[in-house]
Amino acid sequence: MSGNISPAVSLSISLFFSTEMFLFRYIRYIYNRVILENSAVRAAAVAAMAQFGANCPNLLENVQVLLARCQMDCDDQVRDRATYYYSILATQNRSLYNSYICEGLQVKFPMSSHYSAVNIKFTSCTTCFSFFREPS
């Protein structure tokens, strides 16, 4: 071999680096939302960056740097999410990534369907729906 790279290998290398650059640009766009938007959008952007860090090991270090910057945000929800995701990503544990970042939190509201059914049964508007009221 004279050091020439086959076309298939060359194509796979170029696809790898172009995909990596595309993902890095996308993460940068998401981080710009952290800088420019309101607190609800910033919190969602932090969660999106964490998902990229959990699913793309090559970009994990960059995502951790951006999450560390988000820990200094003026809004407490953004700071809490950034700290939460940063600490999970710092463990380098794939099972934690899957449980707490990729799949999200599985929250069940067992009584909410009962409350909805009770609320539908009311024929008058004299009693309002409330999660705090005990079912009768």
Instruction: Give residue-wise pLDDT tens across range 20-78.
Output: 677 778 888 888 888 888 999 999 999 999 998 998 888 899 999 999 999 999 999 99
CA distance linking residue 7 with residue 85, whole number of Å: 40
For residue 93, give the nearest of 105, 101, 81, 103 by alpha carbon.
Answer: 101
Q: Does residue 133 sit within a domain?
A: no
Q: Quick check: is 40 in a domain?
A: yes
Q: Which domain holds residue 57?
A: 7-105
DSSP letter at 94 equals H
- Domain count for the chain, please give it: 1
Residue 93 located in a structural domain: yes
Within a domain: residue 51?
yes
Return the structure tokens found at 91.
Answer: 């463990």
Residue 96, domain member (yes or no): yes
The verdict on residue 46 lying in a domain is: yes
pLDDT reported for residue 101: 86
What distance lies between CA 135 and its chain's CA centroid?
Answer: 35
Query: Confidence class of residue 112 from pLDDT cuts 50, 70 and 90?
Result: low
Closest to 101 (Cα-Cα) out of 52, 51, 34, 59: 51
Q: What is the DSSP string of 7-18?
A: HHHHHHHHHHHH
* Residue 17 is assigned to a structural domain of this protein: yes
Residues 82, 70: Cα–Cα separation, whole Å: 6
Count CA within 13 A, CB hemisphere, residue 9. 4
Looking at residue 1, its pLDDT comes to 44
Query: What distance in Å separates the CA atoms of residue 57 and residue 94, rounded to the nearest whole number?
Result: 10
Q: Which two tokens stand for residue 85?
A: 């995701």
Classify residue 128: in a domain, yes or no: no
